[in-house]
Chains A and B, each alone.
Chain A
């Protein structure tokens, strides 16, 4: 297990390195001065000089890469002139608000995706299965920002069940538990939109993996020792199907962040989406490149974590065979 962990860690290192190099190449290949890509437009001369020094932009190109990697290693991913703060701290400030939508949405989507996917697999070609598959196909095709607009049109504007935008109702000035409830009320529609796009990949993989495992011989053997269909499904087929399910959840993290950014834009949710949008408008490229790199590393780490989580679930990996 230890050896496996170490090996996986070592495999992740070149990927992180590669992601950093890709970002660096983008910064340098972009039209204009790379300083703009690292620090944004509208900086003053002194600020640019400071950044030039910091990222070694006055040195030969090959040295610049090492300086850049060195800065990254110290957690310096650029500086936002607009916000007068390091890009990393600006992003980390907005991250919790985004996670406030993403984490519950992922939890709900996993429960729905895994349970419906499993039932659909158990009753292949039933009405339930066909409905689930159709919903999956639609979920794959609908753009999440449009879905958000439609939800907003219907449930906030037409029926007035939910607040239109934002994270809380500032005018009401709620306190304590009422304030929490208010935030919760604001979270419903964005989370519903996210769940709609998070569910399809999870459900699709669950269904396929459970169907595949239901064909395995140990299922028949378990039935032969008197296990009911339901027990065989839940105790045998589903645990064995967990690898692809865990993998797909881990590998979709970039897709999930993208969804969250778009949904936040529609609902004016004060998270990474709004930050990104304002950075685009202000041409504050430090934020954008830093976000790209941080997300790439997050994805690599997520892949690593899902592999390790799975190795805990699977005795064959646990025992290092």
Chain B
């Protein structure tokens, strides 16, 4: 990828990374495609990074899904005396108000997973729409949307999210919205180049294109071809979103009605000297969850966007 990138003007790394899945092989329901998919599953399963990522992610999702089974009590309720160190009764100890840290960690998984998946999902939708429209419309619309993409790339996500939450009030919805609005850039570039590639194919077989509507083209050619790389890219957003949510909650900008790992660490900050367990366990939970989804995202992108690896996973 280096050669062209450097020649005329230095293109930013993310731009180069996102030059897309490239033209060619539409991956559809044809048997060759199916065979390739099975092949990549085998390759996927043989990569230790992918397997570790998958295991950690599944663990994370299971904890979030089975919250009521693992820790049926309300994480905000008092479970014991304050500052109990880890024991058989409270595995991860209790906090300054006697709340069970373990229950908080389990319930926090739900919050983090929600934020991560919601941001990834929303950025996927926004990115696909923006990229798709830019690619189909071309011309002025394309220029404008690509400028917008550039802008979303230079805005500092963390500070933008911080400002929005500070101005609009804390709440998971606000946070998800602003993170999604600042993380669709790569997705838009990839889906745009996917559309362009298919459009080029379409010109080659001009006769076919005559009768078919753009929507049919979108459905039969563009979507199957771009969906895998775009989903893979979206998976890279999960870890970053979890980290930013945790950071903002740590600064006291989290949703006060929902328990989250960042909130727990914010609370722990005042008691670092007294209760190490209040800091250590929620942070460990963040690290394990983010590591899991990042590894999985990396693995997915290795298979579907071999050129985008350097673009991902930073908060």
Consider the complex of A and B and state whether they touch directly, i.e. have CB atoms less than 8 Å apart: yes
For the complex, give the distance between the alpha carbons of A26 and B252 in Å.
20
Q: Which chain A residues (247-263) contact chain B, with CB distance < 8 Å?
A: 247-248, 251-252, 254-255, 257-258, 262
How big is chain A's contact interface, by range? 35 or more
A299 touches B (CB below 8 Å): yes
Interface centre among B7, B151, B268, by most chain A C-beta atoms within 10 angstroms, is B151
Query: Which residue of B156, B273, B287 contacts A254 across the interface (Cβ within 8 Å)?
Result: B156
Q: Is the CB of B272 within 8 A of A19?
A: no
Query: Which residue of B13, B155, B268, B291 contacts A296 across the interface (Cβ within 8 Å)?
Result: B155
Q: Is the CB of A258 within 8 A of B159?
A: yes
Q: Which chain A residues (4-28) contact chain B, with CB distance < 8 Å?
A: 4, 8, 14-15, 18-19, 22-23, 26-27
Q: Is the CB of A140 within 8 A of B290?
A: yes
A47 touches B (CB below 8 Å): no
Q: Is the CB of A247 within 8 A of B156?
A: no
- Encode contact with B along A208-251: 1 for CB under 8 Å, 0 otherwise: 11001100100000000000000000000000100110011001
For the complex, give the distance between the alpha carbons of A288 and B280 in Å.
30
Closest B residue to A298 using CB positions? B156
A62 touches B (CB below 8 Å): no
Q: Is the CB of A247 within 8 A of B247?
A: no
For the complex, give the distance between the alpha carbons of A283 and B250 in Å.
17
B90 touches A (CB below 8 Å): no
Q: Is the CB of B157 within 8 A of A157?
A: no
Q: Which chain A residues (148-180) contact chain B, with CB distance < 8 Å?
A: 149-150, 152-153, 157
A146 and B2 contact, Cβ closer than 8 Å, known pairs A141-B291, A311-B10: no
Closest A residue to B148 using CB positions? A18
- Please name all residues of chain B whose beta carbon is closer than 8 Å to the beta carbon of A152 when the two chains form the complex: 272
Interface-lining segment among B102-110, B119-127, B165-173: B165-173
Chain B contact residues, CB within 8 Å of chain A: 1-2, 5-10, 12-14, 16, 49, 147-148, 150-151, 154-160, 162-164, 166-169, 239, 243, 246-247, 250-253, 262, 265, 268-269, 272-273, 276, 279-280, 282-283, 286-288, 290-291, 294-295, 298, 309-310, 313-315
Query: Which residue of B5, B159, B164, B286 contacts A146 across the interface (Cβ within 8 Å)?
Result: B286
For the complex, give the distance between the alpha carbons of A258 and B157 in Å.
9
Interface-lining segment among A80-88, A106-114, A313-321: A313-321
Q: How far is the CB of B49 from chain A (nearest CB, A)?
A: 8
Q: How far is the CB of A8 from chain B (nearest CB, A)?
A: 8
Query: Which residue of B1, B150, B169, B280 contacts A15 across the interface (Cβ within 8 Å)?
Result: B150
Q: Is the CB of B252 within 8 A of A280?
A: yes
- Please name all residues of chain A whose beta carbon is closer than 8 Å to the beta carbon of B14 when the two chains form the complex: 251
A285 touches B (CB below 8 Å): yes
Q: Is the CB of A153 within 8 A of B253?
A: no
For the complex, give the distance between the alpha carbons of A111 and B85 in Å.
41
Closest B residue to A22 using CB positions? B155
A247 and B158 contact, Cβ closer than 8 Å, known pairs A26-B167, A138-B287: no
For the complex, give the distance between the alpha carbons of A259 and B273 in Å.
23
For the complex, give the distance between the alpha carbons of A112 and B250 in Å.
29
Q: Is the CB of A316 within 8 A of B253?
A: no
Query: Which residue of B159, B310, B315 contacts A291 across the interface (Cβ within 8 Å)?
Result: B159
Closest A residue to B178 using CB positions? A26
- Please name all residues of chain B whose beta carbon is closer than 8 Å to the beta carbon of A141 when the two chains form the complex: 239, 286-288, 290-291, 294
Query: Which residue of B12, B147, B168 contacts A14 across the interface (Cβ within 8 Å)?
Result: B147
A19 and B151 contact, Cβ closer than 8 Å, known pairs A4-B9, A26-B164, A140-B314: yes
A145 touches B (CB below 8 Å): yes
Query: Which residue of A143, A258, A262, A316 contacts B286 across the interface (Cβ within 8 Å)?
Result: A143
Query: Which residue of B10, B282, B314 contacts A317 across the interface (Cβ within 8 Å)?
Result: B10
A100 touches B (CB below 8 Å): no
- Please name all residues of chain B whose beta carbon is closer than 8 Å to the beta carbon of A23 when the two chains form the complex: 163
Given contacts A22-B155, A251-B12, A277-B251, could you give 9 more A-B pairs where the C-beta distance is less than 8 Å?
A: A140-B290, A141-B291, A157-B272, A201-B314, A205-B310, A244-B13, A258-B159, A280-B162, A296-B156
The 10 A-B pairs of least Cβ separation, nearest first, read: A146-B283, A254-B156, A141-B291, A258-B158, A30-B167, A141-B290, A18-B151, A149-B279, A247-B13, A310-B10
